[in-house]
Structure formats: structure tokens, C-alpha cells
């Protein structure tokens, strides 16, 4: 079973193009509060999301091939290092997110600032979907894909984003590191045009985890939307190497 986990500010359908092109059975999980309800009492912290993900994997009942993007990648690194018996393999991008020297990007810093984060989320939710979509188009998405992403944003997602990022100070490594090589084989993907990426830091993280490192040439941050064919080729080659 292939299990896909999205990031921020995304919803599970972002994996549809990749899932349609692979032959294996798969599921795309929806992070609580992202295109689905936020459970009562759920704090939306990084640790609570990992606990939720582990419970989802336990419900599947067999070791899976886990694929994470953005914050889904962050959760994947944590599961691979702390709950690795749930995995046959793992794949994650934005490897620099897991580096001890990682510094949050400007959007994250805004969300982590009390008052300013709330004001930003409220202002975005007041915009029509078409207008919100222009931000994602500027990041390299087609109009159709940008509309899908923008349509998934709401007050629930916004509140979860604020809680998640504020739980992750100063960075993920400070909370979950230091890393050691994982028992399940891993692959760190590096989209070459990812404006949130850092190849040097990502390679160091791959080395610390004993994982392979693979660029996705010409791909941006939202590669499941932008270059699904390239991603499918890399993923299927990796999974085939495990048999």
C-alpha cells in the first residue's frame, strides 16, 4: 500500500495526478482540518499530527510505502525515525526542513507571529477563490490546479496552520532530532526549482538518515501538480528497487 501525505496549505486531492499514474494500490490521507473537519480537542501541533498519522498507518495494518510532501514530508521524517516499523519504505521532499540549521520561510514567520498570522489568514479567507488562486499560479501552478488549492482553504485550515507552525519553533530538528539512519529504506526528493528548498541542506539530511537523494529536474515546490510524470518515474523506480 502506498500512503501519500500532503502539506500546507494543501488538501489530499493534490496527489490525484500521481496516484492515477501508478499501478500500486494507494490512499491519500487528509490531514485533520485540511479539507475535512478538525476533531474536537485536536491541537494541530506537529506531535499531534504525527500521532494521528501513526494511528492511520496502524489502521492499515501492514508496513506501507509512505510518501510525504511539505509538512507531510516533515511528518514522514519523524515516522521513519521514531515509528519506522510501520514502513516498508519512505519518500519525502523539502529535506532542508529537517536540518538543524533550517530557518523558517517568510510565510511561516508570519503565521508564527500572534496577531499578524490571524490577520493574514482572515484576509485571505475574505478573498474570492479566483483571487486566492492567483498566488498559487504565481508559484507555477496551472489555473485549474491553483483553483483546486485555493478552494480547499477555509477558517479551519487557517487555524490549524497557525497552531502547527507555532508548535514548530525554532524548527523541526530541535523538536525531533538528532536524526539517525532509518531501518526502512528512504529517498529524499529535491525538486530543483523549489523556492522553499535548499539542496545542500537536503543532501546532508539524506546522508544523516542513510537515504538516497534524487533531484526532480525542472520541478517546483508543488511537484505533484506540476510534474507528476517525472515524480511517478522516480517513485516507481525506487519502489521496484526494493523488491
| Exposed / middle / buried, residue 124 (Cβ in 10 Å: 0-12, 13-18, 19+) | middle
Domain boundaries, the chain: 2-103+174-240
pLDDT tens string 84-110:
999 999 999 999 999 999 999 999 999
Specify whether domain 2-103+174-240 bears CATH 3.40.50.300: no
Give the confidence band of 138 by pLDDT, cuts at 50, 70, 90: very high
Grid coordinates of 172: 523541526
**Rounded to whole angstroms, how far apart are CA atoms 193 and 177?**
27
pLDDT at 162 over 90: yes
Tell me the pLDDT tens digit for each residue of 179-215: 999 999 999 999 999 999 999 999 999 999 999 999 9
**C-alpha–C-alpha distance, residues 193 and 184, integer Å:** 28
In sequence order, the β-bridge partners of residue 54 are none
Provide, rounded to the nearest whole percent, the portion of the chain with pLDDT above 70: 100
Mean pLDDT of the region 38-44: 97
Confidence of residue 158 (pLDDT cuts 50, 70, 90): very high
pLDDT value of position 106: 96
How far apart CA 221 and CA 229 sit, in angstroms, is: 15
Report whether pLDDT(243) > 90: no
pLDDT at 128 (0 to 100): 95
pLDDT value at residue 111:
97
Flag whether pLDDT at 139 surpasses 90.
yes
Q: What are the DSSP calls for 149-169, one per residue?
A: HHHT--HHHHHHHHHHHHTS-
- Look at the pTM and tell me if it is higher than 0.75: yes
Cβ atoms of residues 165 and 67 within 8 Å: no
Amino acid at each position: 500500500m502506498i500512503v501519500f501525505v500532503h502539506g500546507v496549505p494543501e488538501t489530499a486531492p493534490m496527489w490525484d495526478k500521481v496516484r492515477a499514474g501508478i499501478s500500486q494500490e494507494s490512499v491519500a490521507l487528509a490531514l485533520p482540518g485540511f479539507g475535512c473537519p478538525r476533531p474536537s480537542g485536536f491541537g494541530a501541533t506537529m506531535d499531534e499530527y504525527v500521532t494521528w498519522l501513526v494511528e492511520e498507518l496502524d489502521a492499515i495494518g501492514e508496513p506501507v510505502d509512505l510518501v510525504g510532501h511539505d509538512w507531510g514530508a516533515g511528518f514522514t521524517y519523524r515516522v521513519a525515525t521514531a515509528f519506522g516499523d510501520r514502513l516498508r519504505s519512505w519518500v519525502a521532499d523539502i529535506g532542508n526542513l529537517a536540518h538543524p540549521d533550517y530557518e523558517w520561510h517568510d510565510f511561516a514567520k508570519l503565521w508564527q507571529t500572534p496577531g499578524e498570522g490571524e490577520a493574514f489568514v482572515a484576509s485571505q479567507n475574505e478573498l474570492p477563490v479566483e483571487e486566492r488562486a492567483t498566488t498559487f499560479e504565481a508559484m507555477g501552478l496551472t489555473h485549474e490546479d491553483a483553483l483546486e488549492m485555493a478552494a480547499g482553504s477555509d477558517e479551519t485550515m487557517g487555524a490549524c496552520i497557525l497552531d502547527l507552525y507555532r508548535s514548530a519553533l525554532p524548527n523541526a530538528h530541535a523538536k525531533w532530532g538528532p536524526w539517525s539512519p532509518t531501518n526502512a529504506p528512504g529517498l529524499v526528493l529535491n525538486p530543483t526549482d523549489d523556492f522553499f528548498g535548499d539542496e545542500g541542506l537536503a543532501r546532508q539530511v539524506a546522508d544523516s538518515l542513510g537515504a538516497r537523494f534524487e533531484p526532480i529536474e525542472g520541478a517546483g515546490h508543488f511537484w505533484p501538480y506540476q510534474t507528476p510524470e517525472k515524480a511517478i518515474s522516480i517513485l516507481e523506480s525506487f519502489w521496484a528497487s526494493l523488491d
